[in-house]
Amino acid sequence: MIVDPITLLAFIPAALALNLTPGADMMFCLGQGLRGGPRAALAADLGISTGAMIHVLIAGLGLGALVAASPWLFDTIRWIGVAYLIWLAIAAIRHRAVTPDMPLVRPSRAFREALVVNLTNPKVILFVLAFVPQFVDPARGAILPQFLIFGAILATGGLVVNGAVGVFAGGIGRGIARSARFGVVLGWISASVFTALAFRLAISERH
């Protein structure tokens, strides 16, 4: 086997614990669920997992070390992410008056937004570089396949957990959105979520 079975058994609960810890990805899926319902939440969830696998691929190829060693590159990507999240917050407020029977966010758009947000968060690739190599065994060779296997487990766990959170929020959001007043409230809630994520990314430091 490419990955030692015992190592794999140790990695799965560790990955699950990380997936269950509330974070930026979970909050983003929650916000998209409130804005567009369960389908938008699942699309955002898939976008985040896709972005995570891209980060894993980059880390496995060794390019992640460049981001870790270059403060200017880290900061450039980080501030692009901050700007994008602020733009999403403004859009959530501006579009809050959409007819309740129509989704505020189309699944395709939710996927794209989630993918961009994930890819412009350099802390994701730094996390991958800090966490995954602990379980990679160079003696077995095939470093990239090992990275991809562990990354797929992380992404799958996130897909299930974040998707469940987003669908739950989406069901509530769609029910409440039939009230125009609550539609305004949901817009501000979504905007608050995106603003909080932007603030968190803005104050993050490279470790």
d(CA 207, CA 201): 13
**Average pLDDT of the residues in 28-32:** 85
DSSP conformational letter for 138: G
39 versus 127: the higher-pLDDT residue is 39
CB 59 within 8 A of CB 125: yes
Look at residue 3 and tell me whether its pLDDT is greater than 70.
Answer: yes
**Average pLDDT value for residue range 87-104:** 60
Spatial distance between the Cα atoms of 36 and 170, rounded to a whole number of angstroms: 7
Query: What's the pTM value of the predicted model, to 2 decimals?
Result: 0.70
Q: How far apart are CA 170 and CA 107, in angstroms?
A: 12
Averaged over 162-168, what is the pLDDT? 89
pLDDT band at residue 44 using 50, 70 and 90 as cut-offs: very high
pLDDT exceeds cutoff 90 at 50: yes
Instruction: Please state, as a whole number, how many other Cβ atoms lie within 10 Å of the Cβ of residue 85.
Output: 27
Of the ranges 54-63, 148-157, 182-191, which is most confident?
148-157
pLDDT band, residue 105 (cuts 50/70/90): confident
Of residues 83 and 163, more confidence is placed in 163
pLDDT for 98 equals 42
Picking from 47-56, 161-170, 177-186, which range would have the lowest pLDDT averaged per residue? Answer: 177-186
pLDDT band at 205; cut points 50, 70, 90: low
Which two three-digit tokens encode residue 158? 């996130």
